[in-house]
């Protein structure tokens, strides 16, 4: 045990003894006759409590508690102190606040402490999901941020009060304090009351609470955590509160499995029963139950995260399918995916922090949907014996002859003369009469019919023998150069064309 832990244990032990004695009415009383009743000083004390209950104003407030009468102003001090507790930020601020509350508790254990506990429990009730759903997203986010900020501070205050013995009267006294017992304390921090006003429902709820608070280890702190966390297993809006509580009190309440119990507050013997036997303000059973509530909440958060991860993978897959099939994903679908991914990221980060606070390994999730019906190309072929049969079944060619037919293609350009591979161009529409004049007249055709040339297939001398045609007689280039296109068009009208001969 290090020096800082030892000092903290000694301080807690002193506070527990003093506060339990005040609950029992055994604390020394101040002589009220010698206390200052000046109204200006008493109201000034209320204002300073409202401004801050932290370390900066602790010395002055502790001094004034011993000098001022204050008994006529307790009802005003309670809400002022509750508001001043919200100003506490550091560990030294919370320690100073416990010292101030303990000083007021020594003078007014019933009037002040019991009333302050009621105010704190009402402020630590879980949010109404139906009320949040009726708000706009912006308003809901602002309200949730404000609630989490307030309840994170007040939840630590309740934990510190538990360790300091300021809740012992409610937890341990059979009749409670001023009508405030464990059942009433649980009901104050519970928002889901018996609805409809039916007496039967109210009776069932009260009986259930009464049975629950009678179980070993139940305390005010446990009831607050149950109301905040166990009722939030679906949405996990209060996971930040669980993380903050676990980080601060992981040693005192032995919240991690690896934590040594001898370092926790449940080993501090500060209270003595009527028979003289020592008792603990923080019992080992209450530590186990608080730890169980936090771990159960973490398990539900991990399960929620798995569901969100699967849903996110499904949404991304659906968007990919639409992009693959239609070539576009609508803006609404993109917005839904981005919103869900943002929520998943926030919850994943919170779950990771809670796992670290409780000494557990954070979960890891992949982006796979979990089935094999995915879009894409499979490059892995069948293996072993299936490979040969699959290759035979999906052969590209039936036999070698078919393969040779499609692969052994003749290169006509290397086998035929260039003039045989030409592409004839159509005569332009703008042909002039001069082109017609270049054609031989009917009389000239008649004169030359006796000796038709090899290039006049249309002459009246009959068919031309293909064997009489020489390669040199074919002077039309069917694949001319770009510069020879005009010449090819002019020659296209002549009868000396190999295609015309055929």
- Span 153-183, pLDDT tens digits: 999 999 999 999 999 999 988 888 888 888 8
CA 293 to chain centre: 22
pLDDT in tens, 346-404: 999 999 999 999 999 999 887 655 444 444 444 444 445 545 554 554 456 777 777 77
* 305 close to 347: Cβ distance less than 8 angstroms: yes
Q: What is the CA 403 to chain-centroid distance, rounded?
A: 58
How far does Cα 88 stand from its chain's mean position? 30
pLDDT tens column, 424-457: 555 555 555 545 444 544 444 444 444 444 444 4
Average pLDDT, the chain: 78
Average pLDDT over residues 201-208: 78
Q: Look at residue 58 in the predicted model and tell me its pLDDT.
A: 95
Averaged pLDDT for residues 253-267: 72
Report the phi/psi class of residue 319: left, alpha or beta, with left for phi > 0 and alpha for psi in -120 to 50. alpha
Cα 488 from Cα 490, distance rounded (Å): 5
Q: Buried b / exposed e across 458-488, counting CB within 10 Å, b at 16+?
A: ebeeeebeeeebeeeebebbbebeeeeeeeb
SS3 state of residue 36: strand
> Which tokens go with 487?
């010449």
User: Secondary structure of 377-433 in the HEC alphabet?
Assistant: CCCCCCCCHHHHHHHHHCCCCCCHHHHHHHHCCCCHHHHCCHHHHCCCCCCCCCCCH
**486-502: per-residue pLDDT in tens?**
444 444 444 444 444 43
Tokens 């005192």 belong to residue: 252
Tokens found for residue 376: 């894409």
pLDDT confidence of residue 466: 45
* pLDDT for 484 beyond 80: no
Confidence check: pLDDT of 460 > 70: no
pTM: 0.70
pLDDT bucket at 325, cuts 50 / 70 / 90: confident
What is the gyration radius of the CA atoms in the chain, in angstroms? 48
Q: What is the pLDDT of residue 429?
A: 55
Check residues 30 and 474 and name the one with the higher pLDDT: 30
Cα torsion 380, 384, 387, 389: sign: negative
Cα 143–290–247 angle (5° rounding)? 60
Indicate if the pLDDT at residue 90 is higher than 90: yes
Residue 281 near residue 165, CB atoms below 8 Å: yes
How would DSSP label each residue in 107-135?
Answer: H-IIIIIIHHHHHHHHHTPPPPHHHHHTS
The 3-state DSSP class for residue 139 equals: helix
**What is the residue-wise DSSP string for 250-298?**
TTTTT-STTS-GGGSGGG-EEEE-TTS-EEESS-HHHHHHHHHHHHHHH
**pLDDT at site 117:** 96
Rounded CA gap, 84 and 81, in Å? 5
pLDDT at 88 (0 to 100): 95
Tell me the torsion sign for CA atoms 331, 334, 338, 344: positive
Phi, psi for residue 363 in degrees, rounded to 5: -75, 155
How far is Cα 73 from Cα 80, in angstroms, rounded to an integer?
A: 11
Give the C-alpha separation, 146 to 123, whole Å. 12
Q: Fill in the DSSP letter of residue 215.
A: S
Alpha-carbon separation of residue 60 from 82, 88, 100, 184, 352 (angstroms): 18, 16, 10, 35, 42
Beta bridge partners of 68: 36
């Amino acid at each position: 045990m290090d020096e800082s832990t030892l000092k903290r244990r000694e301080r807690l032990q002193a506070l527990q003894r003093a506060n339990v004695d005040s609950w029992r009415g055994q604390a020394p009383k101040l002589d009220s006759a010698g206390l200052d009743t000046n109204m200006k000083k008493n109201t000034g004390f209320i204002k300073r409590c409202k401004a801050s209950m932290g370390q900066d104003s602790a010395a002055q407030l502790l001094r004034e508690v011993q000098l001022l009468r204050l008994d006529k102003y307790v009802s005003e001090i309670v809400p002022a102190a509750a508001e001043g507790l919200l100003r506490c930020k550091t560990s030294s601020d919370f320690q100073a606040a416990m010292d101030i509350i303990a000083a007021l508790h020594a003078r007014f254990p019933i009037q002040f402490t019991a009333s302050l506990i009621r105010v704190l429990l009402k402020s630590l009730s879980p949010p109404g999901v139906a009320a949040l759903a009726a708000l706009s997203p912006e308003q809901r986010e602002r309200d949730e941020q404000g609630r989490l900020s307030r309840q994170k501070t007040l939840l630590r205050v309740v934990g510190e009060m538990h360790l300091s013995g300021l809740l012992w009267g409610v937890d341990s006294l059979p009749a409670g304090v001023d009508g405030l017992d464990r059942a009433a304390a649980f009901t104050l921090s519970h928002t889901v009351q018996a609805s409809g006003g039916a007496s039967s429902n109210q009776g069932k709820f009260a009986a259930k609470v009464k049975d629950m608070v009678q179980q070993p280890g139940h305390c005010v702190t446990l009831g607050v955590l149950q109301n905040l966390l166990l009722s939030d297993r679906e949405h996990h809006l209060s996971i930040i509160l669980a993380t903050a509580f676990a980080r601060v009190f992981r040693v005192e309440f032995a919240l991690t499995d690896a934590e040594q119990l001898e370092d926790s507050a449940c080993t501090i013997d500060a209270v003595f029963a009527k028979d003289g036997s020592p008792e603990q303000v923080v019992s080992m059973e209450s530590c186990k139950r608080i730890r169980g509530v936090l771990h159960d909440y973490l398990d539900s958060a991990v399960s929620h995260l798995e569901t969100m991860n699967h849903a996110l993978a499904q949404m991304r897959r659906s968007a990919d399918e639409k992009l693959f099939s239609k070539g576009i994903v609508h803006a609404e679908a993109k917005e839904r995916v981005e919103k869900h991914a943002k929520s998943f990221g926030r919850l994943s980060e919170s779950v990771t922090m809670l796992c670290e606070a409780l000494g557990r390994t954070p979960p890891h999730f992949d982006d796979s949907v979990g089935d094999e019906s995915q879009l894409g190309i499979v490059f892995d072929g069948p293996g072993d014996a299936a490979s040969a049969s699959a290759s035979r079944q999906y052969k590209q060619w039936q036999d070698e002859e078919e393969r040779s037919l499609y692969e052994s293609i003749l290169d006509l350009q290397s086998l035929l003369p260039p003039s045989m591979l030409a592409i004839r161009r159509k005569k332009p529409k703008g042909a002039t009469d001069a082109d017609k004049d270049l054609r031989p007249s009917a009389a000239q055709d008649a004169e030359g019919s006796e000796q038709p040339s090899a290039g006049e297939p249309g002459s009246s001398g009959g068919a031309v023998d293909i064997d009489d045609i020489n390669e040199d007689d074919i002077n039309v280039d069917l694949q001319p150069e770009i510069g020879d296109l005009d010449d090819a068009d002019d020659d296209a009208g002549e009868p000396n064309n190999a295609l015309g001969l055929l």
